[in-house]
Amino acid sequence: MPHSYLKPLLDNNGSKIILLVLDGLGGIALTQDGKTALEYAKTPHLDRLAEEGTLGQTIPIRYGITPGSGPAHLALFGYEPLEYVIGRGALSAAGINLSVKAGDIAARGNLSTFDKNRNILDRRAGRISQPDAAPVIALLNQVQIPGVEVEVRQVKEYRFVLVMRGDGLDSSLNDTDPQETGVQPLTVEAQNPKAKKTAELINKWIEEAYQVLSDQPVANGFLLRGFATDPGFPSYEDAYELEAVCIAEYPMYKGVSRLVGMDVIEDVGAGPAGEFTTAKDHWNEHDFFFIHIKKTDSYGEDGNLEAKAKIIEEVDQAIPILLDLNPDVILVTGDHSTPSVLKSHSWHPVPFLLWAPKTHRTDHETSFTERNCARGGLGTFPAVETMSLALAHAGRLQKFGA
């Protein structure tokens, strides 16, 4: 359970919280006169919230640790990321709303190209397109073996998810993907005795599926990785008494939200203004709104500071849509830093803005930048404390002790 001391203190007062996550928000300036994307961007609305509210910076996982998106979001949601671990298969299945219950197993798959000796020529089948991959994946979905039910569903292009349902399954299995070409895919082996039967079943299914694809011109093979089962996380409702909803454009963020029991809106408006308008359209149905902006991270990974700054400006311009809803708490932060100069996720602390006009304590800072956040009133704190701050500033936590 996220911070078990919170639960006895919960007071569902109907207040509303917005957690706005700009993926990979943090950047780095290597010199005093350098600028991060957040410093480069013109952000009058965010600066106004910063001036009125409180700044801080978060450590996503631990000092020095560069997070993947899964653990970084779990931390923001209050789930200690070293304790709550999601297998890639379960995360991918959740992303496309494919049911994986406790005891089911799920794996992430890529269509691939094999030679006639079943050596891997291309691990991604030439990145075969969505329409070209769809009928091949439909063929895989028809491969069934006795005793279990197998479902295979396309995620995007050559990527798919496989779910096997039946009794006595165990996901302690190695990947078939050797992560290199010129060799055969690996056989699945049980990583502990309980998974022996599952390994036999999955190998049998794989062999039949290889036969079915053998005539395909390009995608005549596939690779599986990240075998996992439902991680069985406590829900937001259980942990926080919040009716939470996810507004995100990308499957992975919908997936991690489903794993903590959030509702997920499938039909989301495009861009920051579109996503905020979706929140507005569903305002009365929920009391916690997780809104995820992907492109700050994507442009950070491209090393494109100007484009990252432009997305931040688009977010800034759309902020009035959120303010017009009169939320009790707005948090603006990232899941991790993605500095354009590094072109990758990084370990640097993440800017954090808390605005709660009835409860926030203002600090000395008046603009929303990395440098100002480092001196902000909330200090430097673990991202896993985000939900505690959100609940407190929303008036949803009673006094601890007499």
Residues 22 to 41 in contact with a copy of itself, rule: CB under 8 A: 26-32, 34, 36
How far is Cα 335 from Cα 314, in angstroms, rounded to an integer? 19
CB under 8 A: which stretch of 69-77, 187-195, 234-242, 299-307 binds a copy of itself?
Answer: 69-77
Rounded to an integer, what distance in angstroms lies between the CA atom of residue 4 and that of residue 25? 29
For residues 111 and 222, the answer to whether their CB atoms sit within 8 Å is: yes
Written as one letter, the residue type at 334 is G
Of 153 and 360, the one with the shorter C-beta distance to a copy of itself is 360
The distance of closest approach from Cβ of residue 68 to a copy of itself in the complex, given in angstroms and rounded to an integer, is: 4
CB of 86 to a copy of itself, least distance (A): 8
Buried b (16+ CB within 10 A) or exposed e, 127-165: ebeeebbeebbeebeebebeebebbbbbbebbbbbbbbb
85 sits near a copy of itself (criterion: CB under 8 A) = yes
Candidate list 1, 47, 64, 264; residue touching a copy of itself; CB under 8 A: 64
CB of 19 to a copy of itself, least distance (A): 14
* Shorter beta-carbon distance to a copy of itself: residue 101 or 361: 361
Question: CA separation (Å) from 324 to 50, 72, 166, 328, 366?
Answer: 17, 29, 49, 11, 22
Does 271 engage in binding with a copy of itself (CB under 8 A)?
A: no
Residues 177-206 that bind a copy of itself (CB under 8 A): none
| Spatial separation of the C-alpha atoms in residues 218 and 115, rounded to whole Å | 10
Q: Say how many residues touch a copy of itself, by CB under 8 A.
A: 76
Distance between CA atoms of residues 325 and 16, nearest Å: 9
Three-state DSSP class for 81?
coil
Sign of CA dihedral 83, 87, 90, 92: positive
Among 67, 231, 251, 272, which residue sits at the site for a copy of itself (rule: CB under 8 A)?
A: 67
* Interatomic CA distance for residues 178 and 193, integer angstroms: 22
Does 61 bind a copy of itself (CB under 8 A)? Our answer is yes
Nearest to 331 by CA among 85, 80, 78: 78
CB neighbour list of residue 131: distance below 8 Å, 6 or more residues apart: none
Mask for 365-384, x = binds a copy of itself (CB under 8 A): -x---xxx-xxxxxxxx---
Task: State the minimum distance, in angstroms, from the CB of residue 151 to a copy of itself.
Answer: 22
Decide whether 3 or 165 has the Cβ nearer to a copy of itself: 3
Stretch of 209-217, 231-239, 304-312, 387-395 contacting a copy of itself, by CB under 8 A: 387-395
Q: Is 8 in the site for a copy of itself (CB under 8 A)?
A: no
Q: For 132, how many CA atoms within 13 A lie in the half-sphere containing its CB?
A: 14
Q: Which is nearer to a copy of itself, 55 or 264 (CB)?
A: 55
Shortest Å, Cβ 25 to a copy of itself: 13
| Closer residue to a copy of itself (CB): 202 or 389 | 389
DSSP-derived 3-state class of residue 151? strand
How far apart are alpha carbons 30 and 93 in whole angstroms?
Answer: 40
Q: Report 333-372 residues binding a copy of itself (CB under 8 A).
A: 339, 342, 344-349, 357-364, 366, 370-372
Nearer to a copy of itself, 113 or 388 (CB): 388
Please give the Cα distance from 24 to 333 (Å, whole number): 9
Q: Does 52 bind a copy of itself (CB under 8 A)?
A: yes
Least distance from C-beta 197 to a copy of itself, angstroms?
27
> What is the footprint of a copy of itself within residues 89-118 (CB under 8 A)?
91
Give just the sign of the alpha carbon dihedral 179, 345, 86, 127.
negative
Q: How far is the CB of 28 from a copy of itself (least distance, A)?
A: 4
Contact 178/120 with Cβ under 8 angstroms? yes
Q: Which is nearer to a copy of itself, 210 or 250 (CB)?
A: 250
What DSSP element (H or E) covers 222?
strand 221-228
Residue closer to a copy of itself by CB (options 67, 109) is: 67
Nearer to a copy of itself, 151 or 370 (CB): 370
Contact letters (x/-) for a copy of itself, 209-248, by CB under 8 A? -----------------x----------------------
Residue 32 has which token pair?
């005093």
